[in-house]
Structure formats: C-alpha cells, structure tokens
Amino acid sequence: MENNFDEIFMREALCEAIMARDIDEVPVGAVIVRDGKVIARAHNTRESDKNALCHAEIKAINDACSALGGWRLVGCTLYVTLEPCPMCAGAIINSRVERVVFGAHDFKAGAFGSMINLNDYPLFKPECTGGVLGDECASLLTEFFKTKRNK
C-alpha cells in the first residue's frame, strides 16, 4: 500500500518536474506530504531565479516550514524526482524530514547513496527509498539534455 501512495505522490513531483522542463529548467520536481496531504510543491528554477539555492527540494522545504510554522518538518515525507545533491540532502536532514522518496538515482552528485551517502554519518537519518518511478523520472532528464544538445 505504501508503494501505491509513493507512486501517487511521485506523480505529483513529476508534474512539478514537467513544469520545470516547460520553462527550460533542468526538470526536477518535489512535493512534501504530511498526513496524506501535499503541504508544499516546487520545481527547479535555478536559471529563471538566477539563484543556486533554487532546487526543487530547497523551495519545497522553505514552503513547508512556512506552512507548518516551524523548522522541524516532523511527520513529513519529501518526494523528489532526482536523488538529492549534498545541499538538498543536508537541508532534508537539517529540517528533520522523516522520509525521503526519490525517483532517478544521480550517480554524479546524489547524496543518499549514489555519489555519497549522508546517512552513513552521525547526523539525523531520514528513512530513504530510491527508484520510485525511476525510469520515468530519469527519462524526463535524459530527453531534456538530448533536446538541449540538438538545439
């Protein structure tokens, strides 16, 4: 049953990733869920916002802190279409997100097992599930970069 919910919310994150692609941003999307409800959703806008912090996860965590009125995102699950980078994995840890579900693995910069695993260190450890709708999440990225190269 958990898997079904995971796919449902990963589809929400995929919708955000498509919104990023449609404004010519690297297509990564995220949603944060608490008690079965989406409390924050965001997509990568690094280029349009001219800001290195504007990864999907950071923006979603920012909005979730506002929504909950505190820095601890207790009881929250973050869904993201690409394995978080060290900045985003660190933000997930700092904000005490209890569970992270990601789609595609990022072998170049993924910080929950692919390049490095921050859960190997003496820090708060979110539960972590990778590969949910992994092929769809990865295809969105490979298609985006293929189109960019052919432009």
Whole-angstrom Cα Rg for the chain: 14
Instruction: Write out the binding residues for a copy of itself, residues 58-87 only, by CB under 8 A.
Output: 58, 61-62, 65-66, 69-73, 85-87
Q: Is 39 in the site for a copy of itself (CB under 8 A)?
A: no
**Cα torsion through 80, 132, 141, 46, rounded to 10:** 0
25 is catalytic: no
Backbone angles phi, psi at 51, to 5 degrees: -150, 120
Instruction: Write out the binding residues for a copy of itself, residues 92-151 only, by CB under 8 A.
Output: 93-96, 108-109, 111, 115-116, 118, 121-123
C-beta separation of 98 from 127 below 8 A: yes
From 8, 23, 53, 74, residue interacting with a copy of itself (rule: CB under 8 A): 53
Could you say which of 57, 83, 127, 143 is catalytic?
57
